[in-house]
Amino acid sequence: MDEAFLDLESVAVELDEELLDAIDDKAFADHRDNRDAAIRDLLDEWLKQRTAEATGEND
């Protein structure tokens, strides 16, 4: 088992109903109804977008 993730801090977020519906739609369409996988996928997309904006790659 890879234990590298054990050093990470935890983060709590509140999601509104509209975002939860979008997550559920993505989970159903792309992840066999797995909400956790959909959240990880959307978070990954968001982080990549933020990194691109911070480095100016979107210009």
Amino acid 59: pLDDT: 56
Cα–Cα distance between 39 and 23 in angstroms, integer? Answer: 7
Coil, helix or strand for 26?
A: helix
Give the pLDDT of residue 30.
Answer: 92
d(CA 39, CA 48): 14
Evaluate if residue 53 carries a pLDDT over 80.
yes
pLDDT of residue 18: 93
- Residue 23: which of 13, 14, 33 has the closest Cα? 33
Nearest residue to 20 via CA among 35, 10, 30, 31: 35
Q: What does the pLDDT look like over 3-49, one tens digit per residue? A: 666 677 787 889 899 989 988 998 999 989 999 999 889 889 989 99
